[in-house]
Structures are given as structure tokens and as C-alpha cells.
Amino acid sequence: MEMKSITIVGCGPGGEQYVTPAARRAIEEARVLVGAARLLEMFPESGAERIVVTADIPRVLDAIADRYQENQVAVLVTGDPGLCSLARPVIRRFGRAGCRVIPGISSVHAAFASLGLDWYGARILSAHDTAPPMEPAALAADDTIALLAGNPANAGWVEALTATLLASHDIFLCENLTLPGESIRQLTHLTTPMKLASRSILIFKRKEDHA
Ligand SMILES: C[S@@+](CC[C@H](N)C(=O)[O-])C[C@H]1O[C@@H](n2cnc3c(N)ncnc32)[C@H](O)[C@@H]1O
């Protein structure tokens, strides 16, 4: 297979033991690492040049463009690249054919696994978008929802969704999964304002849908 010089690497939800051997190998082979500071810190042994990702994504893409024809570039993302990650703008700029993607263990995988729950058919939503995903009432018919909730921008909407589904669904707050401060608990009532860690997932599971 043709060697691609941009590799997007899923680094898992945070714990070192959740970084796959394939991800470690891609990082070892890279001459340039691109990623959030806390992801770069996970790989101190790499002697590669490091480009820290900030909110200025066009600058990051330009930095990759300046380097990828001469160097193996690894773009590190949290969890899996296919879920709300830097993979999307990178692939939009450099093309699918030019990028290799190494899957990672998503925080959503980790959340369902920590609860022992099946996630077939789950709707996956993000509170990261500038606008809330949809009216909470429109989600009442869903049996299983995973909400990437680690962003206070839509805190009011997250509270409204929790209030709407509290009677029909069991609601679990999973924070800092696989990390030392991991916390997994069921929410039995709504306290406002809801305090959510920056790494938080809410799982909504219809009550009669699981044991
Ligand atoms: C920009 S998204 C990236 C998702 C990532 N690509 C994935 O597959 O997990 C960031 C969101 O992922 C979730 N997240 C990432 N790491 C987490 C962790 N260790 N524990 C709980 N949630 C986490 C939070 O919902 C956070 O708001």
C-alpha cells in the first residue's frame, strides 16, 4: 500500500493503557506530531517536532501543509478520529486519499463499557456545537443517547434535556474516563447548574431497555 504522509491517530480517552499499539507505532514513525498539549505530553519519548493545536485551526492546517511533503506527520486526536475531532478539517484540506486514519477507543466506547451497556442504535450527540443539537422533547423517543457534554457552551440545553428525560430514562454521568479522576454515577435528580468536568459524557438509556 502507498505510504501516506499524514496519519490521523486516535489516542483513546486519556489513559495510557487505552492507546493502541498501532497508534504508538504511527507516533514513533512520525517526524512531526500535531495535537493538543495534553495529547503531546502523553508521548514524551518522541523526538519529533511538536505543533500544539489551539483554536486557530487554519494555522494548524497551514503548519501541516508546510511539512507533510517532506515528513511523516501524525495528527493526534482524543478518542476516535471519526467522532468530533480535528480529523474532519484535516481530511477536508488534504483529502481522504492523502490521510491514513488509525482508529482509537472513543470516550463513547469507554462510557458504555464502564456501564456494561449495549450501544447498538445509540444516537450520539455533541454539546460542543455553537447551537444546541435539537429540542429536548424531540429526543424523548430515543432509547439510547450518548451526549459529549464536556463543553459549557450549551449548559442550559444539557440541563433541559436531562430534565426532559429524567422520568423515562436512566441517566449516567461519566467523567474523566480511564483517567485517575474517573467518576461514573447515575443522576437521580437534576441539580442546577449542572457541574460537568471538561471530559464528560452523559448516557441516557430508556428504563425498560436494560436490566
Ligand atoms: C471534541 S470531543 C472528542 C471526542 C473524541 N474524538 C472521542 O472519540 O472520544 C470531546 C468530548 O469527548 C468527551 N471525552 C473525551 N475524553 C473523555 C473522557 N476521558 N471521559 C469522558 N468524556 C470524554 C467529552 O464529552 C468531551 O466533551
138 and 163 in contact (C-beta within 8 Å)? Answer: no
68 and 6 in contact (C-beta within 8 Å)? Answer: yes
Q: Give the chain's domains with CATH numbers.
A: 6-105 (3.40.1010.10), 108-209 (3.30.950.10)
- Tens digit of pLDDT at every position of the chain (211 positions): 456 799 999 999 999 999 999 999 999 999 999 999 999 999 999 999 999 999 999 999 999 999 999 999 999 999 999 999 999 999 999 999 999 999 999 999 999 999 999 999 999 999 887 777 789 999 999 999 999 998 878 888 999 999 999 999 999 999 999 999 999 999 998 888 888 999 999 999 999 766 6
CA-127 nearest atom, ligand 1: 27
Strand partners, 123: 145
Phi, psi of 77 (to 5 degrees): -130, 155
Nearest CA to ligand 1 atom 25: 148
154 lines ligand 1 (CB under 6 A): no
20 lines ligand 1 (CB under 6 A): no
Phi, psi of 100 (to 5 degrees): -100, 140
- The confidence score (pLDDT) of residue 100 equals 97
- The confidence score (pLDDT) of residue 13 equals 98
Between the CA atoms of 198, 23, 117 and 174, what dihedral angle is there, to the nearest 10 degrees? -10
First to last CA, the chain: 46
Q: Can you say how many angstroms the Cα of residue 100 is from the centroid of all Cα atoms in its chain?
A: 18
CA-77 nearest atom, ligand 1: 6
114 lines ligand 1 (CB under 6 A): no
- The confidence score (pLDDT) of residue 1 equals 47
200 lines ligand 1 (CB under 6 A): yes
CA 143 – ligand 1 centroid, Å? 21
- What is the side-by-side strand order in the sheet with 49-52? 49-52, 32-35, 73-77, 6-10, 99-102
- The confidence score (pLDDT) of residue 81 equals 98
| Nearest to 156, CA basis, from 186, 132, 123, 175 | 132
